[in-house]
Amino acid sequence: MKSLHRGTLAVASAITLLATFGTNTAQAANVVPGAETTAEVVITDSDALKVEVNAADAAATSITGKVTNTSDREFVCAGAKGKDDTAGDVAPADLVAKSVAYYQSNLYRVAPELPVKSPSLPLIGAINLGTIDLGSSQGALQGSGPLLGQANGIRKYIGEEYSKARLAGHAGLIKKFTIPAGEEVLFDAPLPAPTQGARTDFNAAAFLMCTPTDTQQPHVFAGFEEGATGPQTGSSQLGILGKR
């Protein structure tokens, strides 16, 4: 009984200590182990902004389109924080569909600053792919927490595909803009010349990251050239990543 009594006291003391520790660190720790509050939840199913992409052929030097605000809220299209110089990208339709699908299952995160020297990875929409070579630095990144895992592999894949699109002259940037309720904004995203030969025709799409001025929660909007395929509701466009 003495042993049980001492054990009970030890447990009680431990609970008291943990309660005190929790009170003192409530502002610095999460109740749920491993929970991350610095990342942003991105809305992917809003119809507040309608994005239309005009048809273009291989001779096009830019992709144009129109964004219509069908809501009663003003939106700033300038990245997840509303402070970027670009609203998003034009890129091949399948790549934009995968980018939208990414945010259906993952938070928006800014890649951490790590002491690894490597070329910068490209951007797709407002996904910050950081300044690390994810292919050759896996060992150094093992302690980087939630940035790693499947989401990290998907970001790497999207970045690689975006690089290929740029080299082919199939990707461009959309300048930032603010769109009041009920208004329309036209966009014109220049396409770079391909590294080799003439530009080929492709199914274009637009990927936008915008925030309403009242809540500032990031929203993703996409529009697809007529004939192109957009994200399928209720299914993931990212399933193909495991088969590449």
pLDDT tens track for 80-98: 999 999 999 999 999 999 9
Which residues are registered as beta bridge partners of 220?
209
Report the number of distinct structural domains present in the chain: 2
Residue with the larger pLDDT of the pair 52 and 28: 52
62-69 vs 184-190, strand pairing mode: antiparallel
Q: Are residues 29 and 132 in the same domain?
A: no
Residue with the larger pLDDT of the pair 13 and 68: 68
- Residue 16 clears pLDDT 60, i.e. is over it: no
Q: At what angle do helices 93-105 and 150-167 cross, to 10 degrees?
A: 160
pLDDT for 176 equals 97
Q: Are residues 78 and 133 in the same domain?
A: yes
pLDDT for 182 equals 98
- 183 Cβ neighbours under 8 A, 6+ residues apart: 68, 69
Q: Are residues 109 and 13 in the same domain?
A: no
Residue with the larger pLDDT of the pair 203 and 38: 203
Q: Are residues 3 and 55 in the same domain?
A: no
The DSSP element (H or E) to which 69 belongs, if any, is strand 62-69
> Which segment of 96-100, 112-116, 141-145, 213-217 scores lowest on mean pLDDT?
141-145
Q: Are residues 70 and 117 in the same domain?
A: yes
Q: Are residues 82 and 47 in the same domain?
A: yes
- Of the ranges 48-57, 115-124, 154-163, the best mean pLDDT one: 48-57
Q: How much is the CA Rg of the chain, to the nearest whole Å?
A: 23
The dihedral of CA 164, 112, 119, 173: what is its sign? positive
Q: Which long-range contacts (CB under 8 A, 24 or more apart) does 137-144 make?
A: 140/114, 140/116, 141/114, 141/116, 144/112, 144/114
Q: Are residues 76 and 23 in the same domain?
A: no
Task: Report the b/e string of 115-129 with b at 16+ CB within 10 A.
Answer: eeeeeebbbbbbbbb
Q: Are residues 68 and 163 in the same domain?
A: yes
Q: Are residues 169 and 182 in the same domain?
A: yes
> Which segment of 65-69, 185-189, 227-231 scores lowest on mean pLDDT?
227-231
Domain span at residue 13 reads 1-35
Q: Are residues 130 and 155 in the same domain?
A: yes
For residue 239, what is the DSSP state?
Answer: G
- For residue 105, give the nearest of 151, 45, 39 by alpha carbon: 151
Question: Using CA atoms, how far apart are residues 183 and 227, in angstroms rounded to an integer?
Answer: 26
Q: Are residues 55 and 115 in the same domain?
A: yes
pLDDT for 235 equals 43
Question: Using CA atoms, how far apart are residues 149 and 153, in angstroms rounded to an integer?
Answer: 7
pLDDT for 230 equals 66
Count of CA atoms in the C-beta half-sphere (13 A) of 216: 3
Q: Are residues 83 and 105 in the same domain?
A: yes
